[in-house]
Structure 1
Amino acid sequence: MNLIAWSIVACEIAFWIVIGLGLIVRYVFHKKALGLALLALTPVIDLILLVIAGFDLRSGATATTAHAIAAVYIGVSVAFGKSMIQWADDRFRYYVTKQGAKPAKRYGMEYAKHYMIGWVRHLVAYAIGAGLLLLTHWLVGDAARTEALMGTARLWTLVLGIDFLIGVSNFVWPKRAKAEA
């Protein structure tokens, strides 16, 4: 694996370690401000990945799928970061500290609406990530060196469209609770 691939792995691990530490400090040690500060470090991790990928390409490297995934990672992290932290927070609070309400499962129209909200976040992630891919393609100025970026952008466009169709299908065929099925 190359530098960028290892950087993505390291950033993903760091992301979840920072979230875990933030939740432990917040709920186990009751240091809410410090816990929030740790949770607020997640965008710094994205910035580190962006700098590493940018430096690698600026140094003359040919873009790989790993470079493209770095842009996808950043887009997803920005668009879904807050909701992922909230998801982890709710489950930590309920399952580890035995506080708060059990995270509810969604069905029917509530699930369909929630899925479409997720799709809008996916669209935001796409706009950020694809924007970074296009910007990098333009800045490098060499189509041969950035083909992996454009290939990833095309594939992501397809995935975004499929995700939208799945979201619409949830309104047509709503998800049912297992007892109803």
Structure 2
Amino acid sequence: MIVALIIACEVGFWVLLAAGLAARYLLRRRRTGVVLLLCEPVLELVLFAVTAVDLRNGAEPGWEHGLAALYIGFTVAYGHFTISRLDAHAAHRLAGGPRPPKPPRYGTARARYEGRLWLRTVLAAAVACALLQGAVWYVGDGDTTSLRAFQWLALRAAGIHGLIALTYPIWPKKAPADAAGRAEEEGRTLTGR
């Protein structure tokens, strides 16, 4: 039941996102779009409540409860980021807004960008670990090895992402010489110098 609810929440996330952006930009119903986008966190609250009720009713803690905690943590950390990026793209494509900036590709700007993404992963892991620890305390003397395993999984994911993010400031990718020349040329034409 929990796995089906996780899938339903993921599908619901994308359906609400598409409906919110369509109402906002295609139908020109800004308030309706905002209301639909604000319904996104309700999905995570429903998943959290159903998971807690499932454990309360005596269900053996399993991988599905750990997966639910990881899903909620990921959505807390990356949900707003994803929505705002897709909103900027929809504004550009559907409403004639400015082109959203692409993530930096080179140098310290890329390192800072990757560092901020890693901090989101740390937040996701912290939320997941906190939810899993709450479930461990809630279950009490029952078998909580699967919940502990998912805590370690969340910490490993944050650690691996941290190591990858650390490579960007240590070995920064340099812009190709012709790209730097084109950027300088474009800067001159934009400023009129």
- Fold shared per TM-score above 0.5: yes
Unaligned runs of 5+ in 2: 180-193
Contact 2:128/2:154 (<8 A) preserved: no
Q: Deviations over 1:77-118 (max 9, x none)?
A: 112111110111122223444532144242122121111111
CA-atom RMSD, angstroms? 1.7
Alpha-carbon distance in 2 for matches of 1:52, 1:176? 49
| Pair 1:141 & 2:140 matched | yes
Task: Give the aligned partner of residue 191 of structure 2.
Answer: none
Give 1:24's match in structure 2, choosing from 22, 31, 35: 22
Question: C-alpha displacement at 1:76, in angstroms?
Answer: 1.3
Alpha-carbon distance in 1 for matches of 2:120, 2:168? 17
Amino acid at match of 2:111: A
Task: Give the aligned partner of residue 63 of structure 1.
Answer: 61
Amino acid at match of 2:116: I
Q: Deviations over 1:118-160 (max 9, x none)?
A: 111111111111000001001101341x211100111221111
Q: Deviations over 1:7-62 (max 9, x none)?
A: 00000000111111000001111111111111011110000000111111111111
Identity of aligned residues (%): 32
Alpha-carbon distance in 2 for matches of 1:175, 1:73? 32
Contact 2:103/2:113 (<8 A) preserved: no
Question: C-alpha displacement at 1:174, in angstroms?
Answer: 2.2
Query: Scaled by the length of structure 1, what TM-score is found?
Result: 0.90
Alpha-carbon distance in 1 for matches of 2:75, 2:37? 13
Amino acid at match of 1:120: L
Q: How many residues end up aligned between the 2 structures?
A: 177
Pairwise mapping of residues 105-124 of structure 1 onto structure 2 (< 5 A)? 105-108=103-106, 109-124=108-123
Contact 1:107/1:174 (<8 A) preserved: no
Unaligned runs of 5+ in 1: none
